[in-house]
Amino acid sequence: MIALTNKDIAMKFIARVELLLIGLWLGAALFFSLGVAPSAFSVLQNTELAGNVVNRTLTVVNFSGLAIGVLLLIASFLPREYPGAVWAWLRRILLFAVAAGCGAGQFIIGIWISYVRLQIGKPVGELAADDPLKLRFDQLHQASVWTLVIAMSAAFLVFFVMTKKGASAAKQQPAADPVLDFPTDLKI
């Protein structure tokens, strides 16, 4: 068995926390997309109220995705062993896509949607289908959906890119894979 240094233990711990963070955000974004948003509109009779619930929840998803994306992007520059520069930069690009998607969804598209809703002055559902403000709202809503889909796709891909180091290290050392054994390796 290979003895782990404090640095090895810290790097393994950081890597696992990074995977946990991106996995939690991806799970929350999926739950929002497949659970919260459709449920709000099917359960609440008032679509304006449902829209407010969805908007508030999307704000949490966007802010957390932006924070996690930026945090993990900064952490990706910590000195550590990567299986190659291509994987390190792919990870950074994907993390940037997560953060940028959430930031754009919240601070660009979200603000435009709020502005259009303010111009409408009444529930969006009361507008005629061919009303220019309704059409603009629908375009912005689609842009918001696609922005979140892109951020979620990037998070899904970065999750597997982040596990690449572990997979390549296991191939290099099949007999002596240094697994973090919490009871023995983290004794104080």
* pLDDT, position 82: 64
* pLDDT, position 4: 79
Q: How many Cα atoms within 13 Å fall on the side-chain side of residue 138?
A: 10
* pLDDT, position 96: 98
Choose among 6, 144, 161, 177: nearest CA to 84. 161
User: CA separation (Å) from 25 to 69, 98, 185?
Assistant: 9, 10, 29
pLDDT tens string 79-110:
877 667 888 999 999 999 999 999 999 999 99
* pLDDT, position 165: 60
Domain locations in the chain as residue ranges: 6-164
Low-confidence ranges of the chain (pLDDT < 50): 166-178, 188
Q: How many Cα atoms within 13 Å fall on the side-chain side of residue 48?
A: 11
| Cα-Cα end-to-end distance for the chain | 20
Maximum C-alpha span of the chain = 70
* pLDDT, position 170: 43
Predicted structure pTM score: 0.84
* pLDDT, position 79: 80
* pLDDT, position 10: 86
Tokens representing residue 133 in the block: 């403000």
